[in-house]
Each structure stands twice: as structure tokens, then as C-alpha cells.
């Protein structure tokens, strides 16, 4: 981005950051994401000004909502403000479980025909704007919104079909675990997410993550080893535990890039 070159007092302003947003090497131009998802995104996070689309697969089996929640979680916990537009069925409980701070999350369930205006207004003030894409969005409106996000430095996450996004994430497959025939309960889901995009993200990638993971539902204490019926060998550390060093926190990224 052109905004990389900063001088004078602006440079000082860049240095002064709230303590809640610790910024390692990437600088605060990139909002953090969960370690499992960093491999999918070109800057290992949500780069400000970018458009990261989440594709909707077939209804009822997409897993897209969980993916959106997972994308927002780290940024929200680090102090960013998020908004979700046009998702009247948004499950706030799941958002809280994913780690999103609900008091920094605004919902606009029914934007109606004012959708472009609303999204544009939110881009001005909110760090991450998730929006369900209405059926008929002209390319010019889409381009203008993306340009506005680029200019204002917020991240636009269209949820639905969106041409021209920097990265498009898509859930390919999701397999739930924990439910048998008349017994058990839903515990966790292995989701295969693919990413393709332009520029640095042109090479398609695919990873498998647990969405939601089993840290909410594990019954057997960790000391006792793996959960019965769950084939993975090492139970992953809880998502919110601070692990020294970045890569150690990623044992759940089971498969590398495709």
C-alpha cells in the first residue's frame, strides 16, 4: 500500500498503540487471525484495506458462518471493532464462543435497499465489516466498496459471491464428530478450507482446521490423553492459551497446502 511510507508525526502516531493490540513484525496494517488460518492469507492476517471474501457453498452445509467467526475472532479480541451486515440469523452465542467480543460487534440484520450506503458508512469507522452479499450487486458498486475499504484501511469480508476479492475462502468439506446413532453430541468439525485469489495469493491453498474445535466440549481432562472416539493423536492446546513462539501454536493445521 501507498500508506506504508509514513513520515514525521504520523510515524509517531503509528508507534503509539493500545496495549491490547500487540503488533509483532507485520505492523498493525495486518489484523491478527487465528494461527490455524494464517497459512491461507497472503499476509498471515487480515491486511487492512483488503477484501477477503468467504464463499457460500450449498445452503445448510457450507460452514461459512463458522469460518467468518474464526476470521474475526483474533482481531476482535485484540480490540478491533467489527460489524456484520445482512445476516439476520447470526448466532451471537457462537460468536462469543469463537472469541469475538460482543460489545465491539455491531449487527445490522436487515439493511434493506440501503445496503451499499450502510456498508460504506461502516467501512468508514469499523475495522472489519462482514456483509452478506445481496443477490444483485453490480460490479461498479462492489468495486466502489472495495476501493473505499482500501482507502479507509478497513477489511471488507463479503459473505457470498464476490468477484475481485483479494482472497476468496471457501469451505470445501465439513465433517462433524461426536454424534452417533442415538448417542453422543456434536463436538467438533473438521473443515477443509480452500483459498484462491490474486497476486500473492494466486496459488490455491487448502488446509484442514477444526471449526469449532473441541476445546469447548472436551470432557476428559487433558492429562488423561485423547478423547475416546476421536482419532487424532495429540489434543490441541486450548485456543486461547498463550504459546511462546508462533509456529508452536499450530499443531491443528493437519495438512499443509495442497
Partner 1 sequence: MTGAPVRTLLLWCPDWPVLAAEIVDGVPATDPVVVLHANRVVACSERARAEGVRRGLRRREAQGRCPQLTVVDHDPDRDARAFEPVVAAVEEVAAGVEVLRPGVCALAARGPSRYLGGEEAAAERIIEHVAQTCAVESQAGVADGVFAAGLAAREGRIVPPGGSPEFLATRPVEALGRPALADLLRRLGVRTLGEFAALPAGDVLARFGFDGALAHRLAAGRDHRPLAVRRPPADLTVTADYDEPVDRVDAAAFAARTLAEHLHERLAGYGLACTRLGIEAVTAHGQELHRVWRHDGLLTAAAIADRVRWQLDGWLSGSNGRGGARPARPTAGIIRLRLVPDGVLAQAGLQSGLWGETGEERERAHRALSRVQGILGPEAVVTAVLGGGRSPADQVRLVPWGDERQPARPGEPALPGGPARGGSGAARPGAVAASGGVTRLGRSTRSQRAVPVPPWPGRIPPPTPAVVLSTPLLAGVHDAAGGPVVVSARLAVSAAPARLVVGGGPPAEIVGWAGPWPVDERWWASAEARRRARFQVCLADGAALLLAVEGGQWLVEAIYD
Smaller CB distance to partner 1: residue 127 or 166? 127
Distances (CA, A) of 197 to 67, 204, 219: 17, 7, 39
* Cα–Cα distance for residue pair 197/41, rounded to 1 Å: 9
Q: Is position 98 an interface residue for partner 1 (rule: CB under 8 A)?
A: yes
Q: Which three three-digit cell numbers place residue 110?
A: 436487515
Q: Is position 164 an interface residue for partner 1 (rule: CB under 8 A)?
A: no
Place of cell 468439525: 189
Cβ contacts of 207 within 8 Å, gap of 6 or more: 36, 37, 39, 40, 192, 193, 253, 254, 255, 256, 257
Kindly identify the residues of this chain, within the stretch 192-221, that bind partner 1 according to CB under 8 A: 212, 215-221
Residues in binding contact with partner 1, number by CB under 8 A: 80
Q: At what angle do helices 139-152 and 115-125 cross, to 10 degrees?
A: 10
Q: Is position 11 an interface residue for partner 1 (rule: CB under 8 A)?
A: no
* Residue in 1, 6, 96, 200 binding partner 1, rule: CB under 8 A: 96
* Cα–Cα distance for residue pair 218/226, rounded to 1 Å: 10
* Residue in 66, 131, 168, 253 binding partner 1, rule: CB under 8 A: 66
- Tell me the sheet residues that pair with 51: 156
Q: Is position 127 an interface residue for partner 1 (rule: CB under 8 A)?
A: yes
Single out the segment in contact with partner 1 by CB under 8 A; choices: 43-51, 93-101, 143-151, 157-165: 93-101
Smaller CB distance to partner 1: residue 42 or 206? 206
Q: Which three three-digit cell numbers place residue 232?
A: 487424532
| Whether 217 contacts 228, CB under 8 Å | no
Q: Is position 112 an interface residue for partner 1 (rule: CB under 8 A)?
A: yes
* Residue in 4, 12, 25, 180 binding partner 1, rule: CB under 8 A: 180
Q: Is position 189 an interface residue for partner 1 (rule: CB under 8 A)?
A: yes
Tell me the closest approach of the beta carbon of residue 207 to partner 1, in angstroms. Answer: 17
Tell me the closest approach of the beta carbon of residue 85 to partner 1, in angstroms. Answer: 9
Q: Is position 80 an interface residue for partner 1 (rule: CB under 8 A)?
A: yes
Helix (H) / strand (E) element for 71: namely helix 64-77
Q: Which three three-digit cell numbers place residue 134?
A: 445481496
Q: Is position 238 an interface residue for partner 1 (rule: CB under 8 A)?
A: yes
Tell me the closest approach of the beta carbon of residue 222 to partner 1, in angstroms. Answer: 6
Q: Is position 81 an interface residue for partner 1 (rule: CB under 8 A)?
A: yes
* Residue in 31, 46, 105, 249 binding partner 1, rule: CB under 8 A: 105
Q: Which three three-digit cell numbers place residue 203?
A: 496459488
Smaller CB distance to partner 1: residue 21 or 196? 21
Other C-beta atoms closer than 10 Å to the C-beta of 192 total 18
Amino acid at each position: 500500500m501507498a500508506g506504508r511510507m509514513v513520515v514525521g508525526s504520523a510515524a509517531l502516531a503509528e508507534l503509539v498503540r493500545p496495549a491490547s493490540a500487540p503488533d509483532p513484525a507485520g505492523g498493525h496494517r495486518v489484523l491478527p487471525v487465528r494461527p490455524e488460518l494464517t497459512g491461507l492469507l497472503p499476509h498471515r492476517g487480515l491486511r487492512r484495506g483488503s477484501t477477503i471474501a468467504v464463499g457460500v457453498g450449498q445452503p445448510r452445509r457450507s460452514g461459512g458462518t463458522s469460518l467468518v467467526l474464526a476470521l474475526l475472532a483474533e482481531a476482535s479480541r485484540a480490540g478491533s471493532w467489527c460489524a456484520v451486515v445482512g445476516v439476520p440469523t447470526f448466532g451471537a452465542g457462537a460468536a462469543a464462543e469463537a472469541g469475538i467480543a460482543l460489545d465491539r460487534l455491531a449487527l445490522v440484520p436487515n439493511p434493506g435497499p440501503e445496503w451499499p450506503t450502510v456498508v460504506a458508512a461502516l467501512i468508514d469507522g469499523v475495522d472489519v465489516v462482514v456483509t452478506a452479499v445481496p443477490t444483485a450487486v453490480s460490479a461498479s458498486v462492489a468495486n466502489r466498496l472495495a476501493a473505499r475499504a482500501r482507502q479507509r484501511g478497513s477489511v471488507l469480508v463479503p459473505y457470498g459471491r464476490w468477484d475481485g476479492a483479494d482472497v476468496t475462502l471457501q469451505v470445501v468439506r465439513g465433517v462433524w464428530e461426536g454424534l452417533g446413532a442415538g448417542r453422543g453430541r456434536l463436538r467438533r468439525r473438521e473443515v477443509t478450507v480452500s483459498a484462491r485469489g490474486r497476486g500473492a495469493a494466486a496459488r490455491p491453498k487448502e488446509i484442514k482446521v477444526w471449526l469449532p474445535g473441541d476445546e469447548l466440549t472436551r470432557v476428559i481432562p487433558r492429562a488423561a490423553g485423547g478423547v475416546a472416539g476421536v482419532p487424532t493423536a495429540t489434543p490441541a492446546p486450548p485456543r486461547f492459551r498463550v504459546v511462546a513462539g508462533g509456529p508452536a501454536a499450530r499443531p491443528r493445521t493437519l495438512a499443509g497446502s495442497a
